[in-house]
Amino acid sequence: MLTGSDLLAKVKELGDVSKSDIVRACGYVSSKKDGGERLNFTAFYEALLEAKGVELGVSSKVGKGGRKLSYIATVQGNGNLLIGKAYTAMLDLQPGDEFEIKLGRKQIRLIPAGGSDEDEE
């Protein structure tokens, strides 16, 4: 299987042929149990993207996948205000961390217990 600059050169060399022929010529072929051949398009395209400098699936950040954060909390039916794990992970909060609750005119502020309130109003 060709990779890197060799793969790019081979694809350019083949020019205007079918995708199947390109994948086959670059060596992205495996054999089935019945003796037939299976073209590995996914592996070919991933190698092609990597050869062109596009990196796939290398970052493993907390909260990278899934839904985007809305930065909005809703009061639940029982009166609780829930802050999700994604937000606590961003602040590296651990179970048992305590906060002082400060109520403003239109805001609720959580200040780490023992911490200081820098912009006191």
- 82, 73 contact by CB (below 8 A): yes
Average pLDDT value over all residues in the chain: 85
Residue 66: its pLDDT value, please?
66
Could you name the CATH architecture of 68-115? Ribbon (2.10)
Residue ranges covered by each domain of the chain: 4-51, 68-115
Mean pLDDT, rounded, for 96-119: 83
Residue 105: its pLDDT value, please?
92
- 64, 57 contact by CB (below 8 A): no
pLDDT tens for 59-99 read 555 555 667 888 888 899 999 999 888 888 888 888 899 99
- 8-state DSSP, 70: -
pTM: 0.47
